[in-house]
Amino acid sequence: MSLLEISGLEVAYGVQRVIRGISLNVAEGEFAALVGPNGHGKTTVLRAISGLARAKAGGIRLAGQPLTGLRPDRIVAAGVIHVPQGDLLFPGMSVLDNLRMGAYLPEAARDEAQRLDEIFTLLPKLRDRQSQIASTLSGGERRMVGIGRGLMAGGRILMLDEPSLGLAPIVIDQIYELVQALAKSGRTILVVEENAIRIADMADRMHLLDNGAIAWSGTGREFLSSPEIFATYLGG
Amino acid sequence: MIRNPIKRDVLIAVVLFALMLAVPLLTGTRYVLTQLTVFFIWAVVASQWNLVLGVAGIFSLAQMALFAVGAYATAMLAYYIGLMLPAAMLLAALVTVGVSLVIGFACLRLKGPYVALLTLAIGQVMYLLVVNDTACFTMPASGCLPLFGGARGFSRFGDLGFRDLLGSKWYIGHYYTGLVLLLAAQLFCIAIIHGPLGLAFRGLRDNPGLALARGVSRMRYQLWVFGLSAFFTGLAGAFHAAQFGVVGPTAFAFAMLLFILAMIVVGGLGTTWGPLIGAALLMWADEGLREVSDWREIGIGFVLAACVILFPKGLAGIRLRSGRGPDPRQDAPPAPPPHTRPSATPGAGPAATG
Amino acid sequence: MDVATQILISGLTLGAIYAVSTIGLALIYGALNMLNMAQGGLLALGGYIAMWGMQAMGWPAPVAALAAMAAGTLAGGMIFVAAARPMLGGEGFETRIFIATIGIGLMLESVILKLFGPQPQAQSLKLEGGFMLGRVSLPLQNILIFVTALLMLVLVAGLLNRSRLGRAIRATSMNRDAAQLMGVPIRRIYLTILMLSGALAALSGIMISSMSGLLPNMGADPMLKAFIICVVAGLGNVPGAALTAFAIGMLEAVIQYIFGVQYAFAILLCLVIAVLIWRPQGVFGQKEVVRL
């Protein structure tokens, strides 16, 4: 049974169709990755799922419940957590206030104290930085706050948009360790990543997005063992 | 139909011009011709403001201030120096260009809403300086006259000479002067919109990155449009001064600013013919609603808000989509406008009272 | 010394009046990128409703003030529902909403003109009397204005910094997309902001009219001043706007004393133009700061 079902999704900016009828499923507890070169619509898929971009056609369902046409705040309430590209923290707020914004919805607010504790255990650095203003954090710290803020909401599926973007290699490793730990704990995760090779040995399932359409789907192992994919889509 | 948009628009302009040439032969009524003359003036101001606002994307509210500069410069050059009015008008238009460049340099580095507020503030400063100046500069027979005319303004600074030429039919001379002015201004608009400047702005709007990479400097082009359109705006102000023989601080009135803005918005911001359609429509509505003058202000407010909410591209946008050639003066008085929706509500400001 | 006291009193009063109406504008711009040009109409609405409540209905002053604020809240809400919401996310929102609110402001003023007439009237909601501070008289009305304004500022600051709603408002103005991803219903936040700003404008309108009388277009100059304060502070910066309001109020009092009342506004505008040329982003430069 798939938790997230996308069928025939189309998204257009003005007259330009960016997403041209894609279908993909993410199973409960699965670690899925949406990979492909930049500018081919990966971010747009996530924005369409979370309601920031309007779907022109097609359906999006979470555990059978249709999400298309709902406003973003209702989609969050339904359980879709979207950690956007570049974090989009609230720059003038403290780390703690940023995290608390993650638990804005009443259902999440009830568990605020407990979740905060969990996140501080998972990311001890944030406990030390909790009163610091977000705009003064380093790139890696920001990413952690971004992910932590997403986790505060609970939710049923965690969507991460390019969690490695703009970070130093050592910090990228830390972030992906965190993502893997989250996946192991049973969370359903959908990661958007440009660097397919980095994620291939972690992800349960890979979806290759090319020019607004899904060009290939399979396991990470299959991905790594198909030379034609490398040749065609990754220029290697 | 003609495919080339420049040829098409020029043709429309020339045909309309020819039609309007014949109007004084058909109707000799002074009232109608005077009203049309006033329409020419506001149509020029609207079309030039549209270039600034809709084509170049400069959120400037200095248009009426520039108009007033043209009017005041004409009156002052004629009154103090004794220049012939046509010469004073041309000189005044150049003065307006100079003032607009100063304003442009100060404003164009700013972001949209800052430009709007700053230009509004500049107009307000000019108004306050004119009105609050009570020190006498000269003492004509009529009493104390401050340098900028004070609250009373200037009068008796000469005319265009049509009274000597045509006698009691002088207003026909003004009619043709206004018509030529509008034709020139509209041809200028067509040249800007379809020419390299218009192309550059379209490029900046559609793909800012690419346009900038190709060396399109937004501010330089904006300054060009701002300065050039100020020429015709100043000329319109100068002609307004000549038409009515008085120049006063009412030229700065916020209500007038709104009235012109409404013309542009109703007609279609950024379109070639929208401002003229809007000017014709709103002046016609203003005329028609003279008896229920209480409701005019409410009406103009309503038209302004409703149009911008319901028709973001204005009436010209609607008409172009339905495939009909835009014909601004179809709507001119006394013919009824084809689109009754905005005018179903009372609309307009102190248009003809100038 | 007496002169300094006099300037201080009138400067603080002016600053208090400006601050109340300006923070509403700053909130709206911060969250929606919207310049609410109907503010002038809202100021007049507040002033007239308070006067009408006391004169025609015989309400006590606090009730009249609350009624005025309720009317402002309603009008602000209607501006969002009728004008801003249909355009949200559309092309050229900033320009279109600017023009639409000009239209709405004009309608508000014209309706007031039609109902109450063009002649100036006195604001009934006004404290008479005062006491002497040395040789300078300190009218009770000025004290009332100052205290009310301070109270409102503290209330708004508390709302923004200590409440869930306030955090949502600040989040929305810092990053619209991120706020939505946290589950903030931004449309409802926008509506709330416009209603709040309408109430503040109505209150400010009562204050203005208690000093200079009621006229249908009484809001025009104060609105321009409020925008100038926003621009000088940096559009959307709420605490900066409150501070700047008091600074401009003091400055205006000084200019009025030195150069005379008729030049105060013109000189103020020239100063502002100079400031903007010097710092195009406003004095409190950075964007996306909403703290009080």
For C108-147, what is each residue's pLDDT tens digit?
Answer: 999 999 999 989 999 888 888 888 877 888 889 999 999 9
CB contact under 8 A, C181 and A72: yes
CB contact under 8 A, A101 and C185: no
Q: What pLDDT, in 10s, does the model give residues A70-119?
A: 999 999 999 999 999 988 999 989 999 999 999 999 988 898 999 999 99
Which pLDDT score is estimated for B323? 38
Positive/negative CA dihedral, A117, A122, A124, A125: negative
Domain C2-278 - what CATH class?
mainly alpha
- CB pairs A-C closer than 8 Å: 75
Beta bridge partners of A55: A11
Mutation target to probe the A interface, by most A beta carbons within 10 A, among C85, C182, C191 is: C182
Q: What pLDDT, in 10s, does the model give residues C90-110?
A: 777 888 888 899 889 989 999
Cβ neighbours of C285 in A, within 8 Å: none
Cβ neighbours of C231 in B, within 8 Å: 114, 117-118
Spatial distance between the Cα atoms of B26 and B76, rounded to a whole number of angstroms? 37
What share of residues in chain C are helix, strand, coil (percent, to 5)?
75, 5, 20
Amino acid found at C131: F
Spatial distance between the Cα atoms of B187 and B174, rounded to a whole number of angstroms? 20
Using the 8-state DSSP alphabet, how is residue C127 labeled? -
Spatial distance between the Cα atoms of C291 and C199, rounded to a whole number of angstroms? 20
Alpha carbon C91 to its chain centroid, in Å, reads: 28
**Dihedral of the alpha carbons of B253, B259, B260, B263, in degrees to the nearest 10:** 180
Q: What pLDDT, in 10s, does the model give residues C148-204?
A: 999 999 999 999 989 999 999 999 999 999 999 999 999 999 999 999 999 999 999
Which pLDDT score is estimated for B1? 53
Q: Which long-range contacts (CB under 8 A, 24 or more apart) does A108-112 make?
A: A108/A152, A108/A153, A108/A154, A108/C183, A109/C164, A111/A154, A112/A152
- CATH code for the domain of A80: 3.40.50.300
CB contact under 8 A, C269 and B112: no
Please list, in sequence order, all residues whose beta carbon lies within 8 angstroms of the beta carbon of residue A212, skipping any fewer than 6 positions away. Answer: A17, A18, A19, A20, A22, A40, A41
Spatial distance between the Cα atoms of C186 and C169, rounded to a whole number of angstroms? 8
What's the gap in Å between the CA of C27 and the closest CA on chain A? 15
Q: Give the structural domain span for A34.
A: 2-233
- Quick check: A2 pLDDT over 70? yes
Q: Which residue in chain C has the smallest CA separation from B118?
A: C273
Nearest to A162 by CA among A47, A63, A78: A47
Put simply, whether B110 touches C (Cβ < 8 Å) is yes
Spatial distance between the Cα atoms of B295 and C69, rounded to a whole number of angstroms? 27
Average pLDDT over residues A176-190: 93
Report how far apart, in Å, the C-alpha atoms of A27 and of each of A44, A55, A63, C169 are: 21, 22, 10, 36
Give the one of B121, B308, B312 whose C-beta lies nearest to C91's C-beta.
B312
Q: What is the mean pLDDT of chain C?
A: 89
Radius of gyration of chain C (CA): 19
- The dihedrals phi and psi of A188, each to the nearest 5 degrees, come to -85, 125
Average pLDDT over residues C254-266: 83
Q: Which residue in chain A has the smallest CA separation from C186?
A: A73
H or E element in which residue A209 lies: strand A205-210
Beta bridge partners of A65: A62
Q: In B195-217, where does DSSP find H-type helix? A: 196-206, 208-213
Put simply, whether C170 touches A (Cβ < 8 Å) is yes
Residue with tokens 């920031």: A52
The domain spans of chain C are 2-278
Beta bridge partners of C130: C139
Give SS3 for B57: coil
Strands (E), B17-127: none
Spatial distance between the Cα atoms of B184 and B330, rounded to a whole number of angstroms? 20
The model carries a pTM of: 0.84
Amino acid found at A51: G
Q: What is the mean pLDDT of chain A?
A: 90
Amino acid found at C172: T
Give SS3 for B275: helix
Tell how strand A31-35 and strand A188-193 pair up.
parallel
Nearest to B35 by CA among B285, B297, B305: B285
Residue with tokens 């401050």: B146
Two structure tokens written together for C240 = 């900066």
Spatial distance between the Cα atoms of B258 and B350, rounded to a whole number of angstroms? 10
Using the 8-state DSSP alphabet, how is residue B325 labeled? P
Domain count, chain A: 1
Please list, in sequence order, all residues whose beta carbon lies within 8 angstroms of the beta carbon of residue B134, skipping any fewer than 6 positions away. Answer: B146, B150
Question: In chain B, which among 279-298 make CB contacts under 8 A with chain C?
Answer: 294, 297-298
Report how far apart, in Å, the C-alpha atoms of C96 and of each of B198, B204, B231, C242 are: 21, 20, 27, 27
Instruction: Going residue by residue through chain B, which has 354 residues, state the pLDDT in tens, using 9 for 90 and above.
Output: 566 778 888 888 888 888 888 777 787 687 888 888 999 999 999 999 999 888 888 888 899 999 999 999 999 898 888 888 888 999 999 999 999 998 888 788 777 777 888 888 888 888 888 887 777 777 777 777 787 877 778 877 777 777 777 777 778 888 888 999 999 999 998 888 888 888 888 777 766 666 666 666 777 888 888 999 999 999 999 999 988 888 888 878 777 888 888 888 888 888 888 889 888 888 888 877 777 777 777 887 888 888 888 887 777 766 444 433 333 333 333 333 333 333 333 333 333 332
Two structure tokens written together for C35 = 């310049």
Which pLDDT score is estimated for A133? 93
Spatial distance between the Cα atoms of B235 and B228, rounded to a whole number of angstroms? 11
Which pLDDT score is estimated for C254? 92
Question: In chain A, which among 13-52 make CB contacts under 8 A with chain C?
Answer: 50-52
Average pLDDT over residues C244-258: 91
CB contact under 8 A, C96 and B114: no
Positive/negative CA dihedral, B154, B157, B162, B165: positive
Peptide bond before B334: cis, by omega within 30 degrees of 0?
Answer: yes
Are A53 and A44 contacting, i.e. CB atoms less than 8 angstroms apart?
A: yes
The domain spans of chain B are 5-20+27-250, 253-354
Are A49 and A78 contacting, i.e. CB atoms less than 8 angstroms apart?
A: no
H or E element in which residue A6 lies: strand A2-13
Which pLDDT score is estimated for B162? 75
Q: Which residue in chain A has the smallest CA separation from C173?
A: A90
Using the 8-state DSSP alphabet, how is residue B252 labeled? G
Put simply, whether C91 touches A (Cβ < 8 Å) is no
Give the one of C95, C104, C114 whose C-beta lies nearest to B59's C-beta.
C95
Helices (H) and strands (E) in chain A, counts: 11, 10
Spatial distance between the Cα atoms of B100 and B224, rounded to a whole number of angstroms? 10
What's the gap in Å between the CA of A222 and the closest CA on chain C? 34
Give the one of B113, B117, B301 whose C-beta lies nearest to C94's C-beta.
B113
Look at phi and psi of residue B344 and say left if phi exceeds 0, alpha if psi is from -120 to 50, else beta: alpha
Give the one of C29, C106, C235 whose C-beta lies nearest to B297's C-beta.
C106
Q: pLDDT above 90 covers what percent of chain A?
A: 68
